[in-house]
Amino acid sequence: MMPERSLPDWLREPRWWALLALGLALGHAAVTVTPLPYWMLPPIAAGWLLLARTLHWGAPSCHAPARGWPWSLVPLIFWGVYVYLADSFGIVDLGAVFFHLQAGISEHGGGERTIVAILYTLAMLPVLAAFTWLVRHDHRWRLLERLLALVLLATNPLLYGIGQRGAAIVAEEGAWLEQRYVDPVILEAPSSPPNLLVIYLESLEQTYADRERFGDVYAPLTALGDQGVVFEGVRQIDNTGWTMAGMIASQCGVPLMPAGLLHDSQLEPLERVVPGVSCLGDLLAEQGYSLTYLGGASKRFAGKGRFYEGHGFSRVLGRDDLAPRVENPDDLNSWGLYDDDLYDLTVEEIRRLEKQEGPWDWST
């Protein structure tokens, strides 16, 4: 007969499983929201377990297990939400979160992120159960747990950002933009209006011009810069740091201020994006320009279609319009078209526009 193998005595104790779950969660949170490398997760978890062993956290005692739920469960859930957002999107911009919730997030092409969100939710369940077990079985944790709840709330960047944004709204009484906005005008229109091509190159910067590190990848743009005007040292203000906010800042000259809770129904996407603001498209349309926007993602995501259609653009083409024109269906992803296909379609459309009369503006 084979000798029976049993688990070590310490593995039979539920406290070590609870402490291990908390240690792994602590390590994952630390390497996600800080610059620590991911290989630091095991040492952090091991350090947590060593501290727990030294202080006998959760060890059997003369105190009977308590009933009730810890105060820190809700703060822990908020921290779980923040860690998920940081893991998925990097630094969390609350302005972007609010705007996308208001403008619509349908057809975002992020099915894989939905799966990750489900996995995060499932992973939080044993963490919450482990923390509840520890608080109920260790009277020292019960004594300090309410203070811990306050600390978790006070240190959560997500809640800090919400409070900071709310304070700014109260301080400015919603009039910040109204007090500073100047309606743009074209002082003098040329007799022969030039065509205008606007290309957004996200995640690209002059750092790539360093030939020692990146070779010649930036050389074509350097050549273009030698023929024109290059603006350097441009800085962003709040509410200009994501795709739609950057487009609106560059075309309208204003930050993208999310609609307030008291001024917009949060149950439906926004019907208009930055209404009452005159943008580049509005000015050019008045001058007889033919305006077109071409984007690889869905027009319905983040109110992109509503913005361009509401500001002078007569043609707004997105994933649904362009997908049939892509030769290889494998070149489509869950988000939309790849940049190289989008570039080819842009060249094709510009050649078509060159044969027409009248000035045109093309944005992509």
DSSP states along 269-291: --SSSSTT---HHHHHHHTT-EE
Q: Is the pLDDT of residue 97 over 70?
A: no
User: Which has the closest alpha carbon to 204: 224, 214, 222, 218?
Assistant: 218
Dihedral of alpha carbons 238, 239, 243, 244, sign:
negative
Are residues 282 and 261 in contact, defined by beta-carbon separation less than 8 angstroms?
Answer: no
State the SS3 of 107-134. CCCCHHHHHHHHHHHHHHHHHHHHHHHH
Are residues 342 and 327 in contact, defined by beta-carbon separation less than 8 angstroms?
Answer: no
Instruction: Provide the mean pLDDT of the chain.
Output: 80
Which residue ranges form the domains of the chain, and what is each CATH number? 9-172 (no CATH), 176-202+236-363 (3.40.720.10)
Tell me the C-alpha distance between 94 and 85, whole Å: 11
Q: How far is CA 236 from the centre of its chain?
A: 16
The type of residue at 331 is D
Span of 1-10, 209-218, 275-284, 300-309 with lowest mean pLDDT: 1-10
Residue 16 has φ and ψ, to the nearest 5°, of -70, -35
Tell me the C-alpha distance between 336 and 331, whole Å: 9
Span of 12-26, 178-192, 214-228, 252-266 with lowest mean pLDDT: 252-266
In this prediction, residue 43 carries a pLDDT of 92
Using DSSP, state whether 317 is helix, strand or coil. Answer: strand
Tell me the C-alpha distance between 277 and 262, whole Å: 20
In this prediction, residue 47 carries a pLDDT of 93
Instruction: For the full predicted model, state whether its pTM sits above 0.85.
Output: no
Q: How far is CA 86 from CA 34, 96, 276, 363, in A?
A: 10, 13, 34, 31
